[in-house]
Amino acid sequence: MTLARQFFNRRMFWMLVGCLVVFGGIFGFKFFGMYMMNQAMDNMSLPPATVTASRVQQQRWQARLNAVGSLRAVNGVDVTTQAQGKVKAIYFESGQSVEQGALLVELIAEPETAQIEVLEAERRLAEREFKRISALYKKGVATLRELDQAQASIDQVLANLAVQRATIEERTITAPFSGRLGIRQVDLGQNVAPGDAVVSLQQLHPIFVDFSLSERDFSRVEEGQSIELTAPAVPEVTFQGRITAIDPAIDPRNRTFLLQATLDNPEGRLRPGMFADVAVKVEKFRSVLVVPRTSISYAPYGNAVFIIRKQQGTAQEKTPPRQMRGRAPVPQTDLVAVKRFVKTGEVRGDMIEIIEGVQAGEQVATSGLLKLRNEGGVIINNDNPPPEQLAPKPGNS
């Protein structure tokens, strides 16, 4: 019994050893395969990314004070009625441009016109009576009092005529100034009351922009200074204007003061109520380093650019990368992209200021940033580079 147990235990031991050897071989083979695959992936050459590139430029920018403004019409009103009555005729279309004094709406005025005829008859009678009394007065038959009463009768009738004509004029509504009409608010036959809106009228050329600056900039601005204005509603267009008024008081609630600038707007592209970005030009210039805006890689932990430079050593000194069997040869390049974090500043048009992180003359990638990796190879193709304009204009302008 003891010998049989010993034999059984020895047999189990060798079976366990055999299982360990078999499974150890399998796991060792798997590990060796993974190791060789990682080595192949590490040594596999990735194709270089094709990008556009531009040099870091040093430019002189005029210092500017930036603000947010709101556009306002030089003249803008709701044209209203002054009298009670029904609308007889409408002489305009919604959105139409009109000149000052143009007839817009006419109200029914037949009773008032008939009253004019009555007063005209009274005027003729009073004038004949005055002539008769004057002749009698010269002959000594009429008294001076009778002559004065005849003159007073004429004056009274003329005053009543002036009042009646003014009443009729109130029934014709005209444009108080030249501008563009809004949407019509009345219809034919509608009974309107004094003060009812007929249509809005806005003078669009020129146009005002109201904006505020901090009190510390009060001494840096004056009337006549140039401004630049951009509006999201009119993209890629920069409008020029000048400061025409400065509020002399500082708002104690936020320590800012109000300014008003006037801009030409012959095409009416700017409209009252639009939001706008305003930049006041001051005389001082400063030297800045700029790159195209497309070269900035934005991220929550910091903005960066890819600097393109030659890799360390020549292509002959470096060991050529291993090619995967069955794949086309990888294009060779001696340029690599190095990611570098930067501090950005003011944006003007297609360009952005770099405060820290680059030097003038360095080459940065301006497109294809998503294809780049740090220390990865690059090929530069500037056949279709991104725009680099400080004041871009739309292609159809």
Q: pTM to 2 decimals?
A: 0.56
Residues 295, 333 within the same domain? yes
370 belongs to a structural domain = yes
Residue 393 lies inside a defined structural domain of this protein: no
Among residues 178, 213, 244, which one ends one of the domains?
178
d(CA 316, CA 48): 18
Residues 115 and 261 in one domain: no
CATH number at residue 218: 2.40.30.170
CA distance 262 to 258: 14
Of the pLDDT bands very low, low, confident and very high (cuts 50, 70, 90), residue 45 is low
Q: How many domains does the chain have?
A: 3
The answer on 218 and 143 residing in a single domain is no
Q: pLDDT band at 263, cuts 50/70/90?
A: very high
38, containing H or E segment: helix 2-43
Of 16-20, 76-80, 125-129, the range with the highest mean pLDDT is 76-80
Beta strands in the chain (DSSP E): 49-51, 53-55, 57-80, 85-90, 97-98, 103-107, 172-174, 179-181, 191-192, 197-214, 226-231, 234-246, 256-263, 275-292, 304-310, 335-341, 343-348, 351-356, 363-365, 376-380
Beta bridge partners of 379: 50
Q: What is the reported pLDDT for 264?
A: 93
pLDDT score of 275: 92
Euclidean distance between CA atoms 127 and 152, whole angstroms: 11
The domain boundary residue, chosen from 216, 251, 286? 286
- % the chain with pLDDT above 70: 88
Same domain, 282 and 316: no
Identify the domain containing residue 109 by its residue range: 85-178
Cα–Cα dist 102/104, whole Å: 6
- Here the tokens at position 295 are 């070269």
**For residue 145, with 0-12 CB atoms within 10 Å meaning exposed, 13-18 middle and 19 or more buried, which class applies?**
exposed
Report yes or no on 79 lying in a domain: no
Distance from C-alpha of 32 to C-alpha of 36, rounded to nearest angstrom:
6
> Is residue 361 a part of any domain in this protein?
yes
Do 227 and 168 lie in a common domain? Answer: no
- The string of pLDDT tens digits covering residues 338-347 is 999 999 988 8
| Shared-domain flag, residues 245 and 277 | yes
Please state, in angstroms and rounded to a whole number, the distance separating the CA atoms of residues 264 and 178: 15
The neighbouring-strand residues paired with 344 are 354
Please name the residue ranges forming H helices in 139-227: 144-169
Confidence of residue 253 (pLDDT cuts 50, 70, 90): very high
Do 314 and 370 fall into the same domain? yes
Worst-scoring range by mean pLDDT, 139-148, 179-188, 202-211, 282-291?
139-148
Same domain? For 69 and 212 the reply is yes
Task: Supply the DSSP symbol for 371.
Answer: G
- Same domain? 69 vs 211: yes
Which residue type does 289 have? L
Q: Which amino acid is at 273?
A: G
The answer to the question of residue 328 being in a domain is yes
